Structure 1
Amino acid sequence: MTFLDKLNESLRTKWKFKQPMPIQTLMIPEMLAGKDIVAESPTGTGKTLAYVLPLIQMVNGDLPKTQALIITPSQELSMQIVNVIRDLVEGTSVTVTQLIGGANMQRQIEKLKKKPTIVVGTPGRLNELVKERKLKMYDVHYVVIDEGDQLLSREYRVMVKSLIEAANPEHQLAVVSATITEEIELVAKRMMKDPIRLQVNADEIPESGHVVHSYIKVDDRKKTDVLRGISALSGVRALTFMNNVDQLRMKELKLLYNDAPIAVLYSDMKKFDRQKTLEDFREGKIRVLIATDLAARGLDIEGLTHVIHVDVPHTVEQYLHRSGRTGRAGADGEVLTLLSYAEERDYRKVTKGIKTVQKVWYSGNLVEGNAKTVEEMKKAAPKTKKSKPKQKKN
């Protein structure tokens, strides 16, 4: 018997995939059995369905109560999850709404009056609505923390913990992420009752796409020029990461001035502007999207050919989260780092154990090799004869 046999007929008929992913096979039966779970599986391996499917089965859409809460770190991830749930609950009595910062709070309060079965939201807005007594947490029996490594970090921990403590005392809690450190696991388990730990490694994923991890050595001041050049390459769709929002905005001004098919995404943007930017990127009007980690958390964008690190990530976990956006669902991809000389040591640390390939930006293309390769290509290139200037006749 597979976990599909344990799902109700409505969910079984909506299952569209050739085969379940390992995290789904492990997690769904345990959730249906009511266990508290800490689950780790690489980016793009089906974690959302691993908790959404059992949640939909366990809640009762006929009860006028909010019974399940999914907490996420970003507006975009919340919207993405809501869309997945809406497709799955179509034709049933189960309802879902999103409660995110940057959106009209009064409208969200009106939606809560209708008692949605499942709520998906960001911790700041959720806490606001709980304090206003508009979100009744006592009725919540199921809580999922998506991107748990971030939401249980020191920045969000207090807000998330207060939400969990406000839920029904008999609630079930699941924490999922692509990377879970010992510290995060310890924090999660303190909030749980006899939790089980589920872990899927990259080599356990079927039909894993071939992902090349490459780097270009380039001066900091020339990174913008290289990005602009990459945006002109045919077929490229790249999600690009920077560590600093201020630097990102400076890059935006330089790139927009040169009218490149590039846009930026950061957490302070208005909701409409963020949605429009993502829509343009998905439709191919934008070839390169530059973002911070928070803005891009959990984004699932089909056909992404590249992940580009403009700055070397601070940690291995950060590198893996960013890099996991490409090579999803069996597709090939490339993870490219624009590496300044000052960043080389950090790059070796975050890519330890990963085979990396050096490339150069030469004549408008990414070419495997180094500075010596460029010199050899220049020598091998056919030389054009310079025409002599015609002499004037007297």
Structure 2
Amino acid sequence: MNGIAELKPFLQDAWKKAGFSDLTAIQERTIPLIREGKDIIAESPTGTGKTLAYLLPILEKINPDLKNLQAVVLAPSRELVMQIHEVIQKFTQTVDISSISLIGGADMKRQIEKLKKHPQIAVGTPGRIKELIQAKKLKMHEVKTIVVDEVDQMFQSNQMDPVQDVVKTTLRDRQLLFFSATVSEKAEKTALTMMREPEVIRVNRSELPASAVEHIYFVCERRDKVDVLRRILKMGEVKAIAFVKDAAQLEELASKLNHKGVSVGVLQGEAYKTERETVMKNFRAGKFSLLLTTDLAARGLDIQAVTHVIHMDLPEDVQQYIHRSGRTGRMGAAGTVISIITVNQEGALKKFSQELGQSIEKKELFMGEIVEKRPKLDKPRPRTQGGKTARPSRK
């Protein structure tokens, strides 16, 4: 495929307007296959353009004259659904293609009213899409393509059963696309039971352009982690996401930082939809420089211009490190990933470094800056009396 030039003019125009140039590796490898109608299992690191890898060929296939649902995108979280829907809206501004977002927790009656306008694309969480199908408000007989985005997260959040139920409501000749930052063996086996001779595409980090993301770590006592975080945030233009292991720590950490004069936002997995939307809106608008969250609460987040990802607690495994770290340096942008660890965690972090083939450098904070090693201060010379070194007083 000759880059973006083979796609329809409205997509080429939207692509240029968005400021993109070349296709990324995952886009180059999947777009031609999707256009051919192949089923696909695609794995590519976070921030490499997976959303457009499937949306561009899907949008090209939509028939604007057919006022029926033609494509469905399933995503594991409300935030990811809204982000995908925004991308669709940006790329269809000049054509008569309509879309709808369908998320759990939102007013179902309002969604049903919007469905009466016959959108051609639906983006939603599996549970809500399934509900609407069962209520006979969402008709799947004309659906030609289903995308399951962030497949591994679907498994982790126990959403794979409704995903399979939704897929079963379509005709057998539909196209099925699985996309994820990591595709586990379990996910691949499940995909194979639902697909017809799928193409498996894996984009390795070695195929990506040189990353502009720096990976570093600081060693301190556990009790000093909050102060290290505070000092990082005071270094200048910072828009950071900090991860902790469990939700119980979030409010306590936020309280300690607020006490130190640092304004933060807290993203809870169990928060009401309106609360989450307010926090995300304020963070995107720069009303605070730090978003505190957990892996569960941060699923599906795609926030532009995040400068730092901070691991307050060491990730459980290398995949978790990848998912968290991918929140910065998206689409080739610069960024910094910082792990704040205790001395007995250094071995585990070095193991991550080896598995990733990624250098993670030990650094120190000194005088408001990140340095290789804290400079040694000259010891004050003892005062002299008449050219002789003064003896310490015995008092």
The answer as to whether partners of 1:231 and 1:262 remain within 8 angstroms in 2 is: no
1:274 aligns with 2:276: yes
Rounded to whole Å, the distance in 2 between the matches of 1:22 and 1:329 is 11
Residue 198 of structure 2 is matched in structure 1 by 195
Rounded to whole Å, the distance in 2 between the matches of 1:40 and 1:146 is 10
Aligned length: 377
The answer as to whether partners of 1:2 and 1:25 remain within 8 angstroms in 2 is: no
1:114 aligns with 2:110: no
1:188-267 to structure 2, matched below 5 A, reads: 188-206=191-209, 208-267=210-269
The answer as to whether partners of 1:3 and 1:29 remain within 8 angstroms in 2 is: no
The answer as to whether partners of 1:37 and 1:195 remain within 8 angstroms in 2 is: yes
The answer as to whether partners of 2:247 and 2:268 remain within 8 angstroms in 1 is: yes
> Quick one: which amino acid aligns to residue 347 of structure 1?
L
**Consecutive aligned runs of 4 or more in structure 1 exceeding 6 Å deviation:** none
1:75 aligns with 2:70: no
Residue 14 of structure 1 is matched in structure 2 by 14
Cα-to-partner distance string for 1:158-205 (whole Å, 9 max, x where unaligned) = 121111112222211111111112222222222110000112122222
Q: Which of residues 26, 31, 36 is equivalent to 2:29?
A: 26
Pairwise CA distance, 1:341 = 4.0
RMSD: 2.2
The answer as to whether partners of 1:209 and 1:333 remain within 8 angstroms in 2 is: no
- Give the structure-1-normalised TM-score: 0.88
Residue 356 of structure 1 is matched in structure 2 by 360
- Give the structure-2-normalised TM-score: 0.88
1:176 aligns with 2:161: no
> Quick one: which amino acid aligns to residue 351 of structure 1?
S
The answer as to whether partners of 1:224 and 1:255 remain within 8 angstroms in 2 is: yes
* Percent pairwise identity: 42
Rounded to whole Å, the distance in 2 between the matches of 1:160 and 1:381 is 66
1:17-96 to structure 2, matched below 5 A, reads: 17-96=20-99
Cα-to-partner distance string for 1:42-91 (whole Å, 9 max, x where unaligned) = 11111111100111111223222212111111111111111110011112
The answer as to whether partners of 2:350 and 2:360 remain within 8 angstroms in 1 is: no
1:329 aligns with 2:338: no
> Quick one: which amino acid aligns to residue 360 of structure 2?
T
CA shift in 2, pair 1:315/1:166, >3 Å = farther
1:284-303 to structure 2, matched below 5 A, reads: 284-303=286-305
Please list every run of 5 or more consecutive structure 2 residues that lacks an aligned counterpart in the other structure: 384-395
Residue 367 of structure 1 is matched in structure 2 by 371
The answer as to whether partners of 2:70 and 2:143 remain within 8 angstroms in 1 is: yes
> Quick one: which amino acid aligns to residue 331 of structure 1?
A
The answer as to whether partners of 2:49 and 2:331 remain within 8 angstroms in 1 is: no
CA shift in 2, pair 1:14/1:154, >3 Å = closer
3-state SS of paired residue (1:263): strand
The answer as to whether partners of 2:269 and 2:298 remain within 8 angstroms in 1 is: no
Q: Which of residues 132, 136, 161 is equivalent to 1:133?
A: 136
